[in-house]
Amino acid sequence: MNTSQIEQILDLARWAPSGDNTQVWRFEILGPDHLVVHCFDTREDCVYDLDGHPSQISYGALLETMSVAATRFGLRTEVKRLEGGAPTEAKFEVRFLEDGAVAPSPLLPAITARTVQRRPMSTKPLTDQQKRALEEAVGPGYHLMWIEGAGPKLRTARLMFDNAKLRLTMPEAYEVHRRIIDWNAQRSPDKVPDQALGVDAATLKLMKWAMVSWRRLSTMNTLMGTWAPRLQMDLLPGLACAAHFVLKAKQEPKTIDDYVEAGRAVQRFWLTLTHLGLFMQPEMTPLIFSKYVREGRQFTQLPGLQERAARLEKQAAALIGADGLFPVYMGRLGAGPAPLARSERRPLAELMKR
C-alpha cells in the first residue's frame, strides 16, 4: 500500500454524511497504511447535537464509508478509538490491511451518489426483496421498524409537521439554520444549499428575507405563521414516500462507541438503499427532542416550547411504540429522480489536520 491509495480512500470517505454538512473530522496520515481521524462534535452551539450523539453517529458513518472505500484496493480496516481528550472530541486510529478475501464492494459507486432527498418521492411501496436487503445491511444488532400505508404515513407526516413548528419558532434552532444555509446555491461544499431545502421559490425568497434576524423571523411567524414551509418541507414529503423507518438498537447505546456503531449501521443502510436506486431523508427531530423531554433537560429559553415538546414526545412514543428496543435513527425513503441540488464536500486538502 502507498500514500496515493490512502489519499484515494480518503477522497471517497469524505463524502460520508454529517449533520448539516458540518464534516466534523480532520485526517492525519501517519504512514502509507495508517492514519488518525480527529473528530469533534457541535453540541456547544447546535441544539440538535444533544450530548454529541448525532455527531458520533456521523463518525460511524465516516468509518464505515472508509471501510467500503478501502475494498477498492483489496484492503480491510482495523479501527481503534484512542482514549483521552475533551468530551466533545474523539480520535480514531485506522489501519489498512491487505486481505486476499476482500473484493471491491458493490456499494462503492453509492458513496458519492448517496444524498438527501427533501422533496416528495414515489409512494410505490418497498418490495419484500428491498426490505430484506436493508434489514440485512443494518446487521444483527439492529432492528428496522417500517411505517407503511396511508394511515401510518399520515401520522408520521403529522408528527414531522408538528415538530417543524417547534424547530421554526425556536431561537436556538434559528441560530443553527442561519449558519448552515447557503443562499442562492444549488451546490455547497460546507453547508446546505437553499435549493435543496425542498420549498418553492416564493417560500425560499420569504425565508431568506425573514432569516436576516431572529426579530424579523419571529415577527413573520406571528403575522403569517409557519404553514408554508412546514407544508412543503414536512407534511407533503411525509406522505410522498414509500415508507418511514426507525432504526432501533437491540442494546441501549450508552457510550461513544455504541453511537459510532449505530452510525456504521446507518451508513450501511443508506449506501444499500442508494445501491437499490432509492433515496432517503433523515427525520431526527422527534428522537432528539423526545430525549430532551424524557431527561427533563431545557433546550430553549422561549416560554411554552418545552410544554409543546412534551406533547410531541407522547405523540412520537405512540407512533414508535414501546418494544424494549432503542431508537437511534429515523427517516423516510422512496424512489424518484435524484435531487438537482445537494451538499457536496470540502476538498480533501481542507480536511487534512494542520
303 shares its domain with 264:
yes
Is 80 exceeded by the pLDDT of residue 2? no
Report how far residue 157's alpha carbon sits from residue 283's, in angstroms, rounded to the nearest whole number: 10
Q: Are 171 and 251 part of one and the same domain?
A: yes
Does residue 118 form part of some domain? no
CA atoms of 37 and 253, how far apart (whole Å): 22
Which domain CATH number covers 159? Answer: 3.40.109
Confidence of residue 224 (pLDDT cuts 50, 70, 90): confident
pLDDT of residue 212: 96
Q: Decide which of 85, 113, 141 is a domain's last residue.
A: 113
Q: pLDDT tens digits for 23-63?
A: 999 999 999 999 999 999 999 999 999 999 999 999 999 99
Count of the separate structural domains present in the chain: 2
Q: Are residues 255 and 168 in the same domain?
A: yes
Residue 120 maps to a domain: no
Inside any domain, residue 50: yes
Q: Which domain holds residue 31?
A: 3-113
pTM: 0.97
Q: How confident is the model at residue 3 (pLDDT cuts 50, 70, 90)?
A: confident
Please report, for residues 52, 282, 305, 322, the alpha-carbon distance to residue 293 in angstroms, rounded to integers and kept in the order given: 17, 20, 11, 16
Q: 303 vs 73, which has greater pLDDT?
A: 73
Could you give the C-alpha distances from 232 to 16, 61, 119, 120, 161, in angstroms and in order?
A: 27, 28, 8, 9, 9
Residues 107 and 150 in one domain: no
Please name the residues in contact with 51: beta carbons below 8 A apart, sequence gap of 6 or more: 43
Same domain, 67 and 26: yes
| Spatial separation of the C-alpha atoms in residues 40 and 206, rounded to whole Å | 34
User: What number is the average pLDDT over the span 89-95?
Assistant: 98
Residue 195 lies in a domain: yes
Same domain, 25 and 147: no
pLDDT at residue 1 tops 80: no
Percentage with pLDDT > 90 across the chain: 95
Length, in residues, of the chain: 354
pLDDT in tens, 144-202: 999 999 999 999 999 999 999 999 999 999 999 999 999 999 999 999 999 999 999 99
- Per the prediction, the chain carries an average pLDDT of 97
